[in-house]
Amino acid sequence: MNVLVIGANGQVGHQIVNLLHDRKEHSVKALVRKEEQAAELADKGIESVVASLEDSVETLSSAIEGSDAIIFAAGSGGSTGSDKTLLVDLDGAVKTMEAAEKLGVKRYVMVSAHQAHNRENWSEALMPYYAAKHYADKILEQSSLDYTIVRPGGLLNEEGTGHVSIAENLKRGSVSREDVANVIVASLLNENTIRRSFDLISGEDSIENAIASL
Amino acid sequence: MNVLVIGANGQVGHQIVNLLHDRKEHSVKALVRKEEQAAELADKGIESVVASLEDSVETLSSAIEGSDAIIFAAGSGGSTGSDKTLLVDLDGAVKTMEAAEKLGVKRYVMVSAHQAHNRENWSEALMPYYAAKHYADKILEQSSLDYTIVRPGGLLNEEGTGHVSIAENLKRGSVSREDVANVIVASLLNENTIRRSFDLISGEDSIENAIASL
């Protein structure tokens, strides 16, 4: 399977790319925004393609072409304004879905945010971000794609435990980026997660069991 | 018919309220954000309800209850940031759609923006606004509501001519707010516009003929 990781320069995206690259079962390509990011990846033997989520659907289609699956791990980040939240986290994401549909790339795994589907649980400090993720997820759920939407809690830079809790609705919690990356890769490879959306926090179940019991 | 105008204090919303009030065939209620706006309307004999589009779906449901039709003419405006664009123009609008669906209020007329459905025609200076309108319209089109989406060109404060051009795709143009208000009211009252979306600029056809020939 040829897997394209969008937002490969982000903290979670980066770990996903490394995981897939190390496992060698699948071919991984990183979509990054800058040439220097592509050069760094090339040094590690990782293939990449340079494009921006603010580019057109046509440009993004060229970047996506040849992939069998997409992992969307991009985010405009906290240092830009809500204009970028709208144009990257929402519209940018939806453009990649439209490109995937046009190209017939069916599999699409989205890194979302804990409880993005429930307005009452959006973090007061991050309301625009949650709204953008909410609508990107909603459009994905209404698409023809074989989606999985993973909604992790507060992201930590700790080492992963390999043990998590996943369910449609979970109380507020946190989870290491390493565990998130592992859940994303496990979701991609498990058909049980197709057309499913779930919260993810650290927990007691092995990642394998957590996904199998969805 | 009991018609609720959301964003009744805006320039287009204000004209829609006055039109419906003057015609007297239908009962009009204005949804406004501030008590003083409600007091001003009361002085003119116009009923209103105070609520914010940043309120919950439940609060908005209470404000909408008893209405037979909704006209959405609200906008966060150019003086606020893109955070409000996301939370008012997009999420606020969608919350009123959800409330309408829950209450069984079927008719919903949206004031959108020229070519909001075509990314390539979004104004460079207003990209986040267009993105918000685009997704609000998209969610409305996917709802169970009897919607009409009117996408006017550049809004002018000139007197209306009563003559317009409407079609699914029109070249860039402008139109007076008075004509927009008249098209909105005519659309509300004409079943021909149900589940239709169209651009609107000034033109040669009478409003009645333009709508009849949709």
B69 within 8 A of B109, measured Cβ to Cβ? yes
Contacts of A131 in chain B (CB under 8 A): 86-87, 90-91
The DSSP bridge pattern shows strands B27-32 and B47-50 to be parallel
CB contact under 8 A, A135 and B90: yes
The DSSP bridge pattern shows strands B2-6 and B27-32 to be parallel
In the predicted model, is pLDDT for residue A77 greater than 90? no
pLDDT value of residue A42:
97
- Which of A86, A88, A120 to mutate: most B Cβ within 10 Å? A86
Residue A20 falls in which region: left (phi positive, over 0), alpha (psi -120 to 50) or beta: alpha
| Amino acid type, A77 | G
pLDDT value of residue B122:
96
CB contact under 8 A, B127 and A83: yes
B133 touches A: beta carbon within 8 Å: no
Question: How many alpha carbons lie under 13 Å from residue B118 in its C-beta half-sphere?
Answer: 13
pLDDT value of residue A146:
98
Longest dimension (CA), chain B: 45
Paired residues of B163 in beta bridges: B206
In the predicted model, is pLDDT for residue B33 greater than 80? yes
Mean pLDDT of the A131-141 span: 98
pLDDT value of residue B79:
83
pLDDT value of residue B80:
87
In the predicted model, is pLDDT for residue B173 greater than 80? yes
For the residues of B18-60, what is the DSSP string, one character each? HHHHHH-SSEEEEEESSHHHHHHHHHTT-EEEE--TTS-HHHH
Q: How many domains does chain B have?
A: 1
CA atoms of B176 and B181, how far apart (whole Å): 9
| Amino acid type, B91 | D
CB contact under 8 A, B81 and A82: yes
In the predicted model, is pLDDT for residue A78 greater than 80? no
pLDDT value of residue B77:
83
pLDDT value of residue A59:
98
Mean pLDDT of the B164-171 span: 98
CA atoms of B182 and B204, how far apart (whole Å): 15
Contacts of B132 in chain A (CB under 8 A): 86
A126 touches B: beta carbon within 8 Å: no
Q: What percent of chain B has pLDDT over 70?
A: 100
Look up the domain containing B83 and give its range: 2-212
Interval B76-134: pLDDT, tens: 887 889 999 999 999 999 999 999 999 999 999 999 999 999 999 999 999 999 999 99
B37 touches A: beta carbon within 8 Å: no
Question: How many alpha carbons lie under 13 Å from residue A112 in its C-beta half-sphere?
Answer: 33
Residues of A with a catalytic annotation lie at 129
CB contact under 8 A, A139 and B134: no
A141 touches B: beta carbon within 8 Å: no
pLDDT value of residue A80:
87
- A85 CB burial (10 A radius; 0-12, 13-18, 19+): buried
CA atoms of B24 and B26, how far apart (whole Å): 5
pLDDT value of residue B78:
78
CA atoms of A119 and A114, how far apart (whole Å): 11
CA atoms of A41 and A134, how far apart (whole Å): 31
User: CATH number, domain at A165?
Assistant: 3.40.50.720
Take residue A90 and report the two structure tokens written for it: 């929402």
Mean pLDDT of the A160-177 span: 98
Which alpha helices (DSSP H) does chain A contain, by range? Answer: 11-23, 35-43, 57-64, 82-84, 91-103, 127-141, 177-188, 207-212
Question: Could you count the other beta carbons within 10 Å of the beta carbon of residue B207?
Answer: 22
For residue A87, the distance in angstroms to the closest alpha carbon of chain B comes to 6
Total-model pTM: 0.95
Interval A26-74: pLDDT, tens: 999 999 999 999 999 999 999 999 999 999 999 999 999 999 999 999 9
In the predicted model, is pLDDT for residue A204 greater than 80? yes
Contact residues for A157 (Cβ-Cβ < 8 A; gap 6+): A11, A176, A177
pLDDT value of residue A202:
98
C-alpha A152: how far from chain center: 10
CB contact under 8 A, A83 and B132: no
3-state class percentages of chain B: helix first, strand second, coil last, to nearest 5: 45, 25, 30
In the predicted model, is pLDDT for residue A79 greater than 90? no
A96 within 8 A of A110, measured Cβ to Cβ? no
- Mean pLDDT, chain A, rounded, equals 97
Q: What percent of chain B has pLDDT over 90?
A: 97
CA atoms of A90 and A134, how far apart (whole Å): 8
pLDDT-derived band at B140, boundaries 50, 70, 90: very high
Contact residues for B153 (Cβ-Cβ < 8 A; gap 6+): B114, B170, B172, B173, B174, B175, B199, B200, B201, B202
- Mean pLDDT, chain B, rounded, equals 97
- B125 CB burial (10 A radius; 0-12, 13-18, 19+): exposed
Contacts of A83 in chain B (CB under 8 A): 82, 85, 127-128
Could you report the predicted ipTM of this complex, rounded to two decimals?
A: 0.93
- Which of A83, A130, A138 to mutate: most B Cβ within 10 Å? A83
Total count of residues recorded for chain B: 214
Contacts of A90 in chain B (CB under 8 A): 86, 131, 135
